[in-house]
Chains A and B, each alone.
Chain A
């Protein structure tokens, strides 16, 4: 099957800065695909390359098998939900949503009907005559979504769409977005720096670092089986053991990751000092320093005894919880 989006050796350099550096990826049709990474990692640039707002300096991008070199944004059947929503302040909500149909020359009744349908889909029926300035952040986000969806795009690009919302609203929207994507079956490409968001929503996640994709996989893959220490640290803040330590505990000279919730404090294992403890409700977070200055974090479930700060403890874990990372890299 032709992938919805395919990157082949794509680079985007701004002078000496390699914003995107030799990226290869395929996004399948109907997939909810997240691009995850810290700011400046190249994920947003990749999104802009798909949207056509920027051109790659090298490589090839195909959308449903069609090369996109030199194709302007307005000829791509791809729509975007912008980070700042980019709602036109001089148009009311209905005209904003119907904008794509208006420039396509569709008659007024048709585009108003379509706009109202799109607004119903994002749970904002009857908001058509308001101005964007009269809406809350969450409502604007929905209008932006409706405006992008009204064109029936083959691929929907979302640039950190939930970044500006408060926590509660964000969680609600995550579920809604996910449900909407399931219902419409449109390919979603989602950019975020929030690993929880990426893991909870996406079918697959691409982790970006310094212009490159360091790992692509299902959320489970990314979470439990990071291939490089960067992924382990960035996604779920795993403890990363340097090769010397791994060699001692597991006999192989590679980096290894172990999740905080997998650490146990016991009578034997790695000796460490308790630096601090913090109560997190369902668990208690314990920061430790092992020999050689190695920092570790343990999440102790309710009921387990919490050591005093400064206490000497031994850290251990189940063998299957130690994930060896076969690839080198930071």
Chain B
């Protein structure tokens, strides 16, 4: 007669396996402890250290950090020059996010609905390719494209449209001496660099919308625009919001792109970088880093209120 159950194992590994099987809670505990420690100590710890720093101040005379609670750094944060930096960064991040959603949605829609087989592979390649090459190389390449005597300028000249470019560059705020030293240039490069982060989650969300939903909407008399407005968009929204969290926060924190392309006016990341670096004004740098954290907090709260996470 054959045995009904195997005898209790003798080996240590087998005994551990049995013990874990009997106590799933222990398994989960063992699995979660390292990441929890990592998150708790390294991540939250450094965040709190940062927050603490922002409540210190720098002594005007000696430049020493005074380890006493004060809101001085935050008062300094709200000087006109720093407010400029905050507004400039938030406006840029918002514009980049909206543009990424507008440009990214059709790409994602095509990939989710129509692309099959080889086209789908091509899509992933096309979207991901910018992520493979070095971020710096791409930005320098864009500098060449946007330069006064760069590729775009040459293109406009070849098409006898230089006047159009000139007219655009003469616009206040948007324009400048050339595209590569204008806000438009900064915006374009931001859009290019962060677009994949919008396309991929949007495409994932769109792929989860069954075709039958669109057919049902059309069946019930909705024109394509109505189907988009009432069915597709609400269901894709979690993906778009996820993407916008990427594009918004990445733009908010970046300090490389505005250094190379644009008007040289500072963005938040650059301000943090120079205050904590050469200036040694760590309290103000810390206060500056609190700004994007607060802004993202509001952003997530607002997105939640808009129902962006309801379909999760």
Chain A interface (Cβ within 8 Å of chain B)?
Answer: 51-53, 72-74, 78-80, 82-84, 86, 88-90, 99-100, 102-104, 147-148, 151
Contact = CB atoms under 8 A, between A and B. Distances in A.
A102 B220 CA distance: 10
Please classify how large the interface on chain B is, using the bins under 10, 10 to 19, 20 to 34, 35 or more.
Answer: 20 to 34
A76 B235 CA distance: 25
A326 to B, nearest CB: 41
Given A90-B311, A147-B220, A103 B215 contact: no
A104 B216 contact: no
Given A84-B212, A86-B213, A74 B221 contact: yes
Interface of B: 210, 212-213, 215-223, 226, 230-231, 234-235, 307, 310-311
Contacts, number: 68
Given A82-B215, A84-B212, A86-B213, A74 B222 contact: yes
Contacts of B216: 80, 82, 86, 88
Contacts of A89: 235, 311
A103 B221 contact: yes
A54 to B, nearest CB: 10
A102 B212 contact: no
Contacts of B217: 88, 99, 103
Closest 5 CB pairs of A and B: A100-B220, A86-B216, A86-B212, A103-B222, A73-B218
Contacts of B210: 84, 86
Contact of B215 (A86, A90, A102, A104): A86
Nearest to B220: A100
A305 to B, nearest CB: 42
Contacts of B311: 89-90
A102 B307 CA distance: 21
Given A90-B234, A103-B226, A103-B230, A72 B213 contact: no
A29 B222 CA distance: 25
B238 to A, nearest CB: 10
A73 B231 contact: no
B235 A90 contact: yes
A1 B217 CA distance: 31
A103 B228 CA distance: 12
Given A102-B230, A103-B226, A51 B235 contact: no
A112 to B, nearest CB: 16
A152 to B, nearest CB: 11
A240 to B, nearest CB: 37
A148 B218 CA distance: 12
Contacts of B307: 90
Given A86-B213, A86-B215, A88-B213, A103 B235 contact: no
B131 to A, nearest CB: 31
A74 B213 contact: no
B220 A53 contact: no
A89 B311 CA distance: 8
A151 B212 contact: no
Output the residue of A100, A103, A147, A148 with the most chain B CB within 10 A.
A103
Contact of A79 (B212, B220, B235): B220
Contacts of A84: 210, 212
Nearest to A90: B234
A151 B219 CA distance: 10
B223 A74 contact: yes
Contacts of A80: 215-216, 219
Nearest to B229: A103
Contacts of B231: 88
Given A90-B234, A103-B226, A103-B230, A74 B218 contact: yes
A52 B215 CA distance: 9
9 contacts: A74-B220, A74-B223, A82-B212, A86-B210, A86-B215, A86-B216, A88-B213, A90-B307, A100-B222
A126 to B, nearest CB: 23
Contacts of B213: 86, 88
B215 A73 contact: yes
A52 B217 CA distance: 12
Output the residue of B216, B307, B310 with the most chain A CB within 10 A.
B216
A130 B215 CA distance: 23
Given A53-B218, A74-B218, A100-B221, 19 more contacts: A52-B218, A53-B215, A53-B219, A73-B219, A74-B222, A79-B219, A79-B220, A80-B215, A80-B216, A86-B212, A88-B230, A88-B231, A88-B235, A89-B311, A99-B230, A103-B222, A103-B223, A103-B226, A104-B221
Contact of A51 (B219, B221, B310): B219
A84 B223 CA distance: 22
A89 B230 CA distance: 12
B234 to A, nearest CB: 5
A90 B311 CA distance: 7
Contacts of B310: 90
A8 B210 CA distance: 31
Contacts of A90: 234-235, 307, 310-311
B212 A103 contact: no
A63 to B, nearest CB: 14
A81 B102 CA distance: 33
B240 to A, nearest CB: 14
Nearest to A99: B220
Output the residue of B212, B221, B223, B234 with the most chain A CB within 10 A.
B221
A117 to B, nearest CB: 17
A72 B218 contact: yes
Contacts of A103: 217, 220-223, 226, 230
